[in-house]
Amino acid sequence: MKLLQPSDVEEFAGGVFIHGGTEVVPLLRDGILSTETLVDVREIVPRGIDGTRIGAGTTLGELEADSQVPEALREACRLAASPQLRNMGSIGGNLLQATRCWYWRLKFPCRLHGGDTCHAQEGEHREHAIFANDFCASAHPSDPAAALVALGATMRTNGRELPVTELYRLPTDDDRDVTTLAAGELILELDVPQPEASTYLKAMDRQRWSFPLVGVAAARFTDRTQLVLAGVAPIPWALESPEALDQATPLPGTAYKLEIARALVRRALEAVA
Ligand SMILES: Cc1cc2nc3c(=O)[nH]c(=O)nc-3n(C[C@H](O)[C@H](O)[C@H](O)COP(=O)(O)OP(=O)(O)OC[C@H]3O[C@@H](n4cnc5c(N)ncnc54)[C@H](O)[C@@H]3O)c2cc1C
Ligand code: SF4
């Protein structure tokens, strides 16, 4: 495998981007991802925090420790992964991490791998989705993604500017991808508005180093409060109101997540009131 380390955004064509490598390396090792060219983007992706601007190369560890960063995002980073992973993992890479669905990670020929079955729907799905789970029942694993969507963050890539919420799409028969990122599109920077109050609450199997069973981000602005959930749908899931939880379609093994979501939504709204 060839490793490119470009110093200019124009210098590469093709290949798989790698930043901290905490996701890319395990996927390569397990044979889920393969490439002849790895493009180390650390020289070209901005890193650091300046007011509302956050370089996509900023690590989760840097974000959790900076008081300029809204509370919901700081807390989502602090509760993610382990200190070692947060010191390596970038926010850009975090937003693009793949599902933790064990069938997908074990290379079952499921819908997300291009097949015609979702093995989780009939099989083991304790950690899976309670919304939008009819095609693929995977649960989006990123804590920071839910926080950024709740905060109304936008992002700049080498080709466009878009709200972070538009980075994500539900997979369909025609397109199994869960992001709208084009091949060769590089996330460069985020712009994260400062709310009046925000929070991120997370239920997990352990108190540390665990993906969200349910994560709830709440951000209050002058005219509205936005709720977004992690771990409940194939993408970060925005709720128009707490009552929207009534529209959940849990699988037999994920019904417990709905009860957790109700409790966390109530607590998150109290916290930002
Ligand atoms: C054991 C473990 C536990 C974890 N627990 C949690 C958790 O509880 N909550 C949570 O939210 N996350 C968790 N994570 C995920 C972790 O936070 C991410 O793996 C990390 O943030 C990814 O960042 P990275 O820089 O290492 O990405 P990389 O591995 O370098 O890249 C990840 C993906 O993003 C792409 N990429 C990277 N940078 C860019 C860019 N700038 N533009 C376009 N594409 C890019 C890569 O091509 C790849 O597809 C966990 C990971 C592990 C391994
Ligand atoms: S939940 Fe999605 S990733 Fe998991 S088996 Fe079903 S289709 Fe595949």
Measured in angstroms, how far is the CA atom of residue 98 from the centroid of ligand 1?
8
199 vs 191: CA distance, rounded Å? 18
Measured in angstroms, how far is the CA atom of residue 51 from the centroid of ligand 2?
39
Q: Which of 113, 117, 136 to mutate to test the pocket of ligand 2 (most atoms within 8 A of CB)?
A: 136
Task: Give the model's pLDDT for residue 69.
Answer: 98
**Cβ 163 vs Cβ 148: under 8 Å:** no
> According to DSSP H, which parts of 79-188 are helical?
83-88, 91-95, 102-105, 119-122, 143-150
Among the atoms of ligand 1, which is closest to the Cα of residue 204?
8
Q: Which of 32, 102, 111, 251 to mutate to test the pocket of ligand 2 (most atoms within 8 A of CB)?
A: 111
Measured in angstroms, how far is the CA atom of residue 180 from the centroid of ligand 2?
19
Which contacts (CB < 8 Å, 24+ apart) does range 261-266 have?
261/130, 261/214, 261/216, 261/229, 261/232, 264/201, 264/202, 264/203, 264/214, 264/215, 264/216, 265/216, 265/218, 265/227, 265/229, 265/239, 266/242
pLDDT per 10-residue tile (average), the chain, 273 residues:
89 88 97 96 97 98 98 98 98 98 97 98 97 98 98 97 98 98 96 98 94 98 97 98 98 98 98 97
125 vs 218: CA distance, rounded Å? 26
Measured in angstroms, how far is the CA atom of residue 122 from the centroid of ligand 1?
29
Q: Which amino acid is at 237?
A: W
Task: Give the model's pLDDT for residue 100.
Answer: 98
Task: Give the model's pLDDT for residue 207.
Answer: 87
Mean pLDDT across the chain: 97
Q: What is the token pair recorded at 35?
A: 């490439």
Task: Give the model's pLDDT for residue 21.
Answer: 98
Bridge-based pairing state of the strands 237-239 and 225-230: antiparallel
- CA torsion angle 15 98 22 183 (round to 10): 20
Ligand 1 in reach of 186 Cβ (< 6 A): yes
Task: Give the model's pLDDT for residue 8.
Answer: 86
User: HSE on the CB side for 151, CA within 13 Å?
Assistant: 30
Other beta carbons within 10 angstroms of residue 57's beta carbon come to 23
243 DSSP assignment:
G
pTM: 0.98
Task: Give the model's pLDDT for residue 166.
Answer: 98
Ligand 1 in reach of 213 Cβ (< 6 A): no
Measured in angstroms, how far is the CA atom of residue 273 from the centroid of ligand 2?
37
Give the number of the ligand closest to the Cα of residue 62: 1
Task: Give the model's pLDDT for residue 237.
Answer: 98
**Cβ 160 vs Cβ 213: under 8 Å:** no
- CA torsion angle 30 32 127 146 (round to 10): 120
Measured in angstroms, how far is the CA atom of residue 272 from the centroid of ligand 1?
28
